Amino acid sequence: MKFARDTWLIFQRQTQLLLRNPVWVFVGVFQPVMYLLLFAPLLKPALNAPTQAAAYKIFVPGLLVLLAIFGGLFQGFGLIAELRAGVIERSRVTPISRLALLLGRSLRDVVSLIVQAVIITLLALLFDLRVFIGDLLLAYLMLALIALMTSAVSYGVALKVKSEDALAPLMNTVAQPVLLLSGILLPLTFAPGWLQGIANWNPFSWAVDGTRALFAGDLGSDKVWQGLSITAVLAALGVYWAARQFARSVR
Amino acid sequence: MIETRGLRKSFRSRAGRETKTVDAVRGVDLDVARGEIFGFLGPNGAGKTTTLRMLATLIEPDGGEATIAGADLRKDPAEVRRRIGYVPQGGSTWDESTAREELVLHARMYGIGKADAQRRAARALDAFQLTEYADRKCKTYSGGQRRRVEIALGIIHEPKIVFLDEPTTGLDPQSRAHMWDEIRRLRGDGMTVFITTHYLDEADALCDRIAIMDNGEVVAEGTPAELKREISGDVVLVGLDLAASPQAAKALDGEPYVNKLETVDEGGLRLYVDEGATAIPQVLRRLDHAGLELRSIELHRPSLDDVFLTKTGRSLRES
């Protein structure tokens, strides 16, 4: 009960601060929209897709997973700013739950990601993308789990390194291979066997496959439950690890 | 209110390939009474902040014991947290939120309900004369206003003890005097106040009792008056031309009322005497007799800096 209340308290505060600065909505949507407008048209011929809508069904889920990964991984910067301002230290001398300090922030990140995802989905509808609402909600659940994991990990790393100068290259180094090996921009069906072999070890590649299956309306596909299970386990591990970092910084 | 025995903390620091252990705090014993302003005086790096952060549950001691407001620091830090307030040195407010929001949030982090938190915030804003700026963003505040918000945050839950880490560092003289009044007001409300400072005048004027810390250890403890009384006698500073100093030293050396004599580098003498008031006329007569012209004469009562000097061999101003 106290934990839920504490989490809600932090979530509210973080959301309020986010809304006060609406630039993020613009920034967060501008880039994906550029991909939709300037990159996606290349896909129909490149993917040999029968229609533009079919190309979007492949591209949009990848784009959303990309947003979830990157949006989450870079949240640590905000925490470093808060560390520097003394806000975290101030929270630590109160009896507030340490896990709530983490989860309140990560849930804010999840909600802001879902808002971005909804905006992008709506825009894609204009380009004739069609998805069943039930499948779409499951896809959003997948995105939420990914964002929860990446943002929690980012916060945990931020607490450890305590400096933007260390966090930026670290996160970029992690994000780049994850991105290339997950078939986000182009499906890995085109990849040579060895590349596919490596990608099989990339959990995000499973998440992308699962999300694509959902966008394709293929709810029964094994890829859906596999992707969801893998991301759920990873999210739990990520939150557990980051929570330990929060708890360890102070008992 | 605060009782510590043998509190210790060392840090490992890595310089290149070597790991060095730095003993930041080496066995601190303190007894702070209810309702007093207790000052922790010492140069930067003496271990004041580390001790304070241990007492405020922010870092775990390596050894020793402490009881804070009746709760055991080692066994029950959560209970300690409920009973204390802590105001860090480097600030604790967020640029983009307002004083009122910060106060309400902070009260609620202590488990206080929303309506009660809002009432407390309003009362604190009023008490710290912040109502006028309450709904402006913190980044628009002056240094003094911001520090007042931070102190208000530290006491929003009405703790028994509040720890203030260098509360006046970086403030202009007027804001500093204002802050001293605020701190005295906290004591007036029955709170025990524990502050760290490296300002001698602050420790002297504000604190009921002080502990002087150097190199991780408490080297002296008592009321400012007690500590100064330990330094026997007064200091008479005689201002002379550089050329005249050696002659004057010769004239005064061996006089019965001079306990110790030092020449000052820029010219002049420093005389340690038992009683300044009776020594000065005799010094004047002696120098007049020797035909030496003096530029100035000053009587110094011992300061906390002299206490620091006798305990550590260095002046606090130098370190």
Q: Are residues B8 and B75 in the same domain?
A: yes
- Taking the Cβ of residue A162 and every Cβ of chain B, the question of whether any pair is shorter than 8 Å is answered with no
Q: Are residues B171 and B251 in the same domain?
A: no
Nearest to B109 among A9, A21, A250 (CB): A9
Q: Are residues B153 and B184 in the same domain?
A: yes
Judge whether B271 lies within some domain: yes
CB contact under 8 A, B81 and A95: yes
Q: Are residues B179 and B248 in the same domain?
A: no
Q: Are residues B263 and B145 in the same domain?
A: no
Paired strand residues for B222: B210
Distance of alpha carbon B243 from alpha carbon B39, whole angstroms: 43
- Residue by residue, pLDDT tens for chain A (251 residues) are 889 999 999 999 999 998 887 787 777 778 888 888 888 778 878 777 788 788 888 888 988 998 899 888 889 999 999 999 989 889 988 999 889 999 999 999 999 999 989 988 888 888 888 888 889 999 999 999 999 999 999 999 999 888 888 888 888 888 888 888 887 777 777 778 888 888 888 888 888 889 999 988 888 888 889 889 999 999 999 999 999 988 876 54
Give me the CATH number covering residue B216: 3.40.50.300
Domain that holds residue B289: 232-301
CB contact under 8 A, A94 and B95: no
Q: Are residues B186 and B76 in the same domain?
A: yes
Q: Are residues B27 and B81 in the same domain?
A: yes
Residue in A closest to B157 by C-alpha: A94
Structure tokens at B139: 């980044």
Q: Chain B contacts of A94, Cβ < 8 Å?
A: 81, 106, 109-110, 157
Q: Are residues B267 and B161 in the same domain?
A: no
Q: Where are the domains of chain A?
A: 1-250
CB contact under 8 A, A94 and B109: yes
| Confidence (pLDDT) at A247 | 81
Size of interface A-B (CB pairs under 8 A): 65
Which amino acid would we find at residue B194?
Answer: F
Alpha helices (H) along chain A = 2-20, 23-34, 43-47, 52-73, 76-85, 87-92, 98-126, 133-161, 164-180, 193-199, 203-215, 222-249
Paired strand residues for B8: B26, B63
Q: Are residues B149 and B294 in the same domain?
A: no
Q: Chain A contacts of B58, Cβ < 8 Å?
A: 89, 92-93, 250
Paired strand residues for B165: B196
Judge whether B268 lies within some domain: yes
Q: Are residues B21 and B168 in the same domain?
A: yes
| Confidence (pLDDT) at B149 | 92
Give me the CATH number covering residue B266: 3.30.70.100
CA A153 to chain centre: 11
Cβ count within 10 A of residue A134: 11
Judge whether B252 lies within some domain: yes
**CA proximity to A129, closest of A31, A216, A47:** A216
Which amino acid would we find at residue A163?
Answer: S
Structure tokens at B196: 């760290």
Structural contact between residues A17 and A87, judged by C-beta atoms closer than 8 angstroms? no
Domain boundary among B168, B195, B228: B228
Q: Are residues B160 and B245 in the same domain?
A: no
Q: What is the pairing mode between strands B192-197 and B161-165? A: parallel
Distance of alpha carbon A157 from alpha carbon B284, whole angstroms: 70
- State the complex-level ipTM: 0.84
Judge whether B316 lies within some domain: no
CA B33 to chain centre: 17
Domain count, chain B: 2
Q: What is the pairing mode between strands B258-263 and B269-273? A: antiparallel
- Residue by residue, pLDDT tens for chain B (319 residues) are 899 898 888 888 777 677 788 888 888 898 999 999 999 988 888 888 889 999 998 888 888 888 999 989 888 888 999 999 999 888 889 999 999 999 999 999 999 999 999 999 999 999 888 999 999 999 999 888 898 999 999 999 999 999 999 888 888 888 888 889 989 999 998 899 999 988 888 888 899 999 988 888 888 888 888 888 777 678 888 888 877 788 888 888 878 888 887 887 777 888 888 888 888 888 888 888 888 888 888 888 777 877 877 777 777 766 5
Which secondary structure element, helix H or strand E, spans residue B87, and what is its range? strand B84-87
- Taking the Cβ of residue A90 and every Cβ of chain B, the question of whether any pair is shorter than 8 Å is answered with yes
Judge whether B287 lies within some domain: yes
Judge whether B24 lies within some domain: yes
Residue in B closest to A81 by C-alpha: B94
Judge whether B206 lies within some domain: yes
DSSP state of B97: S
Nearest to B105 among A13, A85, A250 (CB): A13
Sheet holding B71-72, edge to edge: B18-32, B2-15, B63-68, B71-72
Structural contact between residues B161 and B68, judged by C-beta atoms closer than 8 angstroms? yes
pTM of the model: 0.82
Q: Are residues B69 and B159 in the same domain?
A: yes
Judge whether B125 lies within some domain: no
- Taking the Cβ of residue A94 and every Cβ of chain B, the question of whether any pair is shorter than 8 Å is answered with yes
